[in-house]
Structure 1
Amino acid sequence: MTWAVNSCFVTLAILFLWRVEEIAEACSCSPAHPQQAFCNSDVVIRARVVGGEEVDAGNDIYGNAIKRIKYDIKQIKMFKGPNQDIDAIYTAPTSAVCGVTLETNGKEYLIAGKLETDGRMHVTLCDFIESWETLTATQKKSLTQRYEMGCDCKITRCTSIPCTISSPAECLWLDWVIEKSVNGEQAKHFACIKRSDDSCAWYRGAAPPKKDFLDIEDP
């Protein structure tokens, strides 16, 4: 009987550790407004993906080989980044460790990511990566005219009512409570811009239907 109980505990312990490892390997990201993604990224480019392959990226501290997926790209425009063209981006090999899967048939993307110390651009599932054709006119315009103007502002995501801001330099992001989506009207059609008095407010670009959160609209 004792042996059976001990065996049961061992089995449960193994299952528990396996579950912990599985959870640890999962990729989890905090939703970000496109403006936040722009401001937090080292590099933001429009590019065409033309190829991809698995490559070695050195060894970890235990001597095990580190694999990465290298995507060859043709840079079309750089919105933010170093004074050099980016010809490849790197990502983890699986989505479990935040690896990104891109189409390699020449599809165009907006790609935001980090610049590593060796000059390579690295991207994860937590970065803002979207098909160029799915971006709204406001999002495309904001990449060159709006988002950077609001990088000193803080966008606070509201997850349930009531929610408030703690500073005039914040914009309240209400997409989740209004539309149950982080890709709602504010994400698609608004940018949070700093005013002359250092407060921040939402500005609308292209003309979607007006919402309750609208502060200022383009003339």
Structure 2
Amino acid sequence: GDILFSETWAAPAAWAAGGMQIEFNAISLEEGVAVIWTKDTLEYYAFSTDTGKYMWGPAEPEYYMNYYGWTELLERPILIWDGKLYSSGCGGIIYCYDLTDGDVLWTYVSEDPYQEYLFANNWWQFFLFITDGKLYTSHMEHSAIEPMPRGAPFLCLNATDGDIIWEADGLFRSTRWGGRAIIGDSIIVGMDTYDNRLYAIGKGPSATTVLIQNDVIAHGSNVLIKGMVTDVSPGT
């Protein structure tokens, strides 16, 4: 029950003037950082969990559409991994910040080229999890309008540099109310709000076929071997 620290910080004048929504966004005891989000200015501030001291902020403001959605209600979950802060939301732009100084390391824009999504030019991105150095994220919406937008992306990005590893458009559309997808034993399980079913995806079983070009081959001669690997998972 001892007090570990008591730190006073001079907040920006706009905070004291009122009308500002200040949210406690994310914390990592391992990294020793707690992050605060100013919803009205779309900026992050960071503080040390060891000393309570101010570390950095405000970070570069995000795209204005990220104003919508509460982090506390998991409408725009924020992730911390390997010294980085990951942020996105209704604006459909993924931001990766350096957790030590707040600099933006990279961004990824989830473009909606056919304007399926009603409220923005990009797909609202909803973080699922980070594992094995990969950021998994998908489209989510608070209250969909029928017909639901087609082709919602399910993305796997390199969490270090933001490069896309794979993308499946229209495969799954995540849920605000049904919770985020989970992963275990390399199998991802999540709810698809296109049809309200649970799906499990992962590396499925395969069949291998090997063919040799000639049945009779002289010793020391070259040989051509052909083969095929076929997906035989039950979902295909």
TM-score where L is the length of structure 1: 0.30
- Structure with higher helix content: 1
Query: Larger relative CO (CA 8 A, sep 6+): 1 or 2?
Result: 1
TM-score where L is the length of structure 2: 0.29
- Structure with higher strand content: 2
